[in-house]
Amino acid sequence: MSGKFLITAWMLVSATCPVLAADVQQLASRLAEYDKPAKEAEVGYKTSANIVGASPVLADQAVNNYLTLVGKTLVKNSGGDSYRWTFAAIDSPDINAFAAPGGYVFVTKGLLKALGSEDEVAAVLAHEISHVRLKHYVKVAKKQVLAEYAMKSLNEGQADGQLEAMSKAATLILAKGLDKQSEYEADFQAMRILAQSGYDPSALVDVLSTLEARSSDKGMAFLLSTHPSAAERIQSIGGCCVDAYQQYATRNQGTRARFDKAIKTRL
C-alpha cells in the first residue's frame, strides 16, 4: 500500500469521522495480505472468470497449449517466480490481451492473428507477465477498495467481502486501464524478459508497429482506450533499451514452422 495514499486517505477520513480512521488502517493492513501470490491468485481467478465470462476461452486447445509453452518458457528463462501460470486465447476478433493477478494471461484471437512470429507472441505474453509480476492490478485494486471503504460503501467485516471487492476493483481497472507509467514499465520489463529468455526483444516494437498501423480498426478501440498510443510506447522503448539490447535483436528462425502450425494456419 502506498504510504502517501494511506496518509491522504487517513487525513480525509479522520477529518470527517475520527472513529473510521482506525478502521481504515485496519483494513489497509488486512489488504496487505493480497501481496502474497496465493491471495493474488484468488483475486485473479475471480477476475479471470469475468474476462472469460465476457468472451469465451478459445475451444482450440492446441492454441492454448502453444501459448502456455511460450509463456512458461518466458517465466522459467527469466528466473521463475511463485505464480501458477495460466495462458489462454479468448475467442474474440478484437485486438487485445489481459493479465489478471496471480498469473492469468489471456490473448484475443484477433491479436494472435495479427502477429507474425513466435517472438511476437512472446512479446505480448512478456508484457502481460510483467503486469502480474509488478502487481499492477493488485496495487491499484487495494487503493480502490480502501477508498471505497473510506466512503463507507464496503462491508469490510467479511473476508469474502474483501475478496469480492478486490476482484470487482481489478475487473474495473482492466476495463478502464492502468496509468501510462505502468504500461511503459510493463514494456520495459517485457524487453528484459524477452532478452533473458532467448527471444528477440525488438519483436515488441514490431507488435507495437502493427498496432499503430491498425489503430483505426474497430477491434482496437478497447486497447487504445486503456494504453498509451503505440507510437508513444515505441518512442519510450527507443529511449530505454535499444542501444543496450541491440545485441539480442535476432529473430528466432527455428520457431517459424511451429508458429505457422499453431497460430498462422490455425486461426
Q: Of 63-92, which residues contact other proteins (CB under 8 A)? A: 64-65, 68-69, 71-73, 76-78, 84-88, 90-92
137 forms part of the interface with other proteins (CB under 8 A): no
- ∠38-136-158 over CA atoms, to 5°? 50
Whichever of 18 and 187 has its CB closer to other proteins, that residue is 187
Task: Compute CA 218 distance to the chain's CA centroid, rounded to the nearest angstrom.
Answer: 22
For the chain, helix (H) and strand (E) counts, in that order, are 14, 3
Task: Report how far residue 91's alpha carbon sits from residue 99's, in angstroms, rounded to the nearest whole number.
Answer: 16
For the bound state, the minimum distance from the C-beta of residue 240 to other proteins, rounded and expressed in Å, comes to: 4
37 forms part of the interface with other proteins (CB under 8 A): no
124 forms part of the interface with other proteins (CB under 8 A): no
43 forms part of the interface with other proteins (CB under 8 A): no
254 forms part of the interface with other proteins (CB under 8 A): yes
Encoded amino acid at 98, one letter? F
Whichever of 22 and 84 has its CB closer to other proteins, that residue is 84
261 forms part of the interface with other proteins (CB under 8 A): no
Task: Report how far residue 201's alpha carbon sits from residue 103's, in angstroms, rounded to the nearest whole number.
Answer: 21
Whichever of 22 and 56 has its CB closer to other proteins, that residue is 56
264 forms part of the interface with other proteins (CB under 8 A): no
Q: Which of 39, 131, 133, 143 lies at the binding interface for other proteins (CB under 8 A)?
A: 143
Q: Which of 99, 129, 237, 262 lies at the binding interface for other proteins (CB under 8 A)?
A: 237
